[in-house]
Structure formats: structure tokens, C-alpha cells
Amino acid sequence: MLIECIQAALEKARYEIIENDEPYYGEVPELEGVWATGSTLEACRKNLEEVIDE
């Protein structure tokens, strides 16, 4: 059940490239304060998943 909720949130995530050491930025607009960065898009997505899980 929890995995399904995390996956549903990740489907609504928005990603962009920013000027940073970890240039990939992702957020879930519906979840205030839920954002993450990563050195690759996959790393960003994994980090975002961990933030949602918390």
C-alpha cells in the first residue's frame, strides 16, 4: 500500500535542470516541501522517493 502511494506521488513529480553541483531537481507540487536533487535523473528520482517515504 505504501509503495503504491509513493509511486503515485512520483508520477506527479516535476523535474528540471538547475545550476548546482547536483543539477537534477525534482519536486512533487501536491506535497509541500517535498523536493530532492541528484547528480543524475535516476539519482534525483531515488532521493525524491526517499523524501516521500519519510
Encode pLDDT of 4-22 as tens digits.
988 999 999 999 999 999 9
Please classify residue 29 by burial: count the beta carbons closer than 10 Å to its beta carbon, then call 0-12 exposed, 13-18 middle and 19+ buried: exposed
Domain count, the chain: 1
Query: Which CATH number covers residue 31?
Result: 3.30.160.250
Q: Which range marks the domain in which residue 31 is found?
A: 2-53
Mean pLDDT of the chain: 94
Crossing angle of the two packed helices 2-11 and 41-53, in degrees rounded to 10:
130
pTM, two decimals, is 0.86
Give the pLDDT score at 54.
86
Taking residues 19-44, what's their average pLDDT? Answer: 95
Backbone phi, psi, residue 30, to 5°: -75, -15
Give the pLDDT score at 2.
81
For the CA atoms of 2, 45, 30, 53, what is the dihedral angle to 10 degrees?
Answer: 30
